[in-house]
Amino acid sequence: MGHRLSRITTRTGDAGDTGLGDGSRVPKDSARIQALGDLDELNSALGLLLAEKIPAALKRALLQVQHDLFDLGGELSIPGHAMVTATHVARLEALTQAYNAKLRPLKEFILPGGTRAAAATHLARAVCRRAERSLVALGRAEGVSASARQYLNRLSDLLFVLGRTLNRIARRGDVLWKHEHRSR
């Protein structure tokens, strides 16, 4: 394989547009580029989470998610191209079910927090939700695969469960929201 990024500064985007994988150019503020940027931010948030001390199995699963997000970015950079499939979605569902089975059922809403790793997971979940909203917005104007939308929806579920899981592993409870809590 040749060098993909041998030149980082190209100046081709100086006028406010950028190239897609199919060679077309679009404005940098288009819905497609917004969705790609939100995916990039999500992948970066996962990279930050992976810098934390977390169990090896969880690390492997999240590294696979990072690769999947690159595939999803590839899908978005070539309009009409599909790379994320129902198999990707099913893998996330299975992970979510497996980790959630070890948690106590929730009776209250929880706040993002607890351990540093759990808080980073909740931050990634919030970024995932934004990426999902961007993908839905793009889908209203242009075609987006159902699997792509489902993947981000399932990923946010998984990240919620993993935030709780990381607190449980650290022997920290969930940070419960208290409706009656008021500043005085």
**What is the per-residue pLDDT across 146-157, written as a single tens digit (0 to 9) for each?**
999 999 999 999
Right CATH number for 26-174 from 3.30.1370.60, 1.20.1200.10, 1.10.599.10, 1.25.40.340?
1.20.1200.10
Whole-angstrom Cα distance, residue 152 to residue 14? 31
pLDDT digits (tens, 9 = 90+) for 5-58: 555 556 555 557 766 667 778 766 788 889 999 999 999 999 999 999 999 999
Please check whether residue 134 is in contact with residue 38, taking contact to mean a CB–CB distance below 8 angstroms. Answer: yes
pLDDT digits (tens, 9 = 90+) for 71-104: 999 999 888 889 999 999 999 999 999 999 999 9
Which has the closest alpha carbon to 39: 163, 132, 136, 158? 132
Q: For tokens 């961007």, name the residue.
A: 134
